[in-house]
Amino acid sequence: MRKKSLTTVSALLAILLLITACNAGEQQTAEPAQKDQTTQNDKTEAADKPIQLPDEHLQKNDEGAAVKALQAALQKTGYDISSSGNYDALTTWAVTDYQMQQETLAVTGIYDDDTKQALQTSLDDNTPVNPGKGLDEPDKDATAISNPHEILALVNKDYVLPDGFEPLKLVEPDVRFPFEEFLPKKQMREVAAAALEDMFAAADDAGLDLFAQSGYRSFDRQDAIFASNVAEHGEEAANNFSAKPGESEHQTGLTMDVTSPDVNHQLIEEFGETDEGKWLKQHAAEYGFIIRYPEGKEEITQYQYEPWHLRYVGKAAATDIAEQGITLEEYLGEV
């Protein structure tokens, strides 16, 4: 009788141990599922959290919390970019692409007040954005400039514009030219043309006599100019002062060559010694322009000194470049 009781107790203990083991297994299985659910909830809460767009203007190479907030907003509209806090090439592409899809925005690649307002509306209204509809995502293996529409695009002998590139929104600025007839070279991109008008108005107020001479040039036009210079001076010499097609800033629509009556409206180094040339060196940055090929920087720019060649890069970049006495290559870290 006692032996039978011990057998019964042993059986019951075995059953209890089996039940305990099963319960422990179920708890261990449930814990990862609970963690996954918690992680998903965190992601959902982050996605639903209101995004505070930064107030300051931002552009390529900027860093910090403001850039990170902008990147979060772009992610929420559909752009697959990281929240690195670095205004890198992908962020510049996303801003440029977004601007190209908004009819009212200037396409610059720079986050400004107008872009902030449009982006805020997109977020508030949950307006769909189609990433890449305006501009293809940068190709790391491409040999041509991937984002030629941004105003900080570096165009030189190493960074070439893509085949068939034509700038957006070309207009004729309301400034003086030394010729009356319309020619394509009177044109600039809208954002640069407006800045040029402001700069010329300020020069007028200073009693100066600036003239615009040559702005936009198509690929074919630059090809003809370079071929003519090669025929006259030889290719090696021509390459010091004339760009090959695709390598010219004039094709971007962001450049204007300027001159004055004191040098008979020519584009020559002596322009830098005129009152107009000296004023530009001191004040062009206030309107977003730089003297693209400054004296003493020929080894970096690979072009001779050209005090007449003005490139629009926006006020922030132009101010930094002028104050530091550097080139666009140096500013972008591409020396």
Catalytic residues: 306
Find where tokens 């559909």 sit.
78
Crossing angle of helices 65-76 and 89-100, rounded to 10°: 50
Token pair for residue 222?
């630059």
Q: What is the DSSP letter of 245?
A: T
The single-letter code of the amino acid at 195 is A
- Catalogue the long-range contacts made by 317-321 (C-beta closer than 8 Å, 24 or more residues apart): 317/59, 317/152, 317/288, 317/290, 318/284, 318/285, 318/286, 318/287, 318/288, 318/289, 318/290, 319/285, 319/286, 321/285, 321/290
Residue 167's contacts (CB-CB under 8 Å, 6 or more residues apart) are: 148, 149, 189, 216, 251, 252, 253, 254
Q: Which H or E run contains 170?
A: strand 170-171
Q: Give CA–CA dist 270/277, Å, rounded.
A: 9
Whether the Cβ atoms of residue 335 and residue 329 lie closer than 8 Å to each other? yes
List of residues 6+ apart from 293 with CB closer than 8 A: 301, 303, 304, 305, 306, 309
**Phi, psi for residue 201 in degrees, rounded to 5:** -65, -40
Is the Cβ–Cβ distance between 289 and 195 less than 8 Å?
yes
